[in-house]
């Protein structure tokens, strides 16, 4: 999976534009997630046993839940 890191920093111009790198991604399955606007069925992914990501829909952006 290609991951875009868009965290801006002062190190270099490339950090302002973002950087793309490859990550190992594991699909853990579907889960229900409740938010203020309702309950949704989401796909639960994990990156390298450290970050959990949840996606809703085929073209969804993945966001870490902390």
Is residue 66 over pLDDT 80?
A: no
In tens, the pLDDT along 1-37 reads 555 555 545 554 454 566 666 778 889 999 999 988 8
Band (59; pLDDT cuts 50, 70, 90): confident
Half-sphere exposure at residue 12, Cβ-oriented, CA atoms within 13 angstroms: 4
Q: Are 19 and 12 in contact (CB under 8 A)?
A: no
In the numeric block, the tokens 């989401």 are attached to 42
């Amino acid at each position: 999976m290609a991951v875009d890191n868009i965290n801006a920093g002062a190190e270099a111009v490339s950090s302002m534009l973002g950087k793309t790198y490859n990550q190992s991604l594991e699909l853990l399955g579907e889960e229900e997630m409740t938010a203020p606007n309702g309950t949704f069925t989401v796909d639960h992914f994990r990156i390298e046993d450290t970050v959990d990501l949840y996606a809703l829909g085929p073209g969804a952006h993945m966001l870490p839940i902390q």
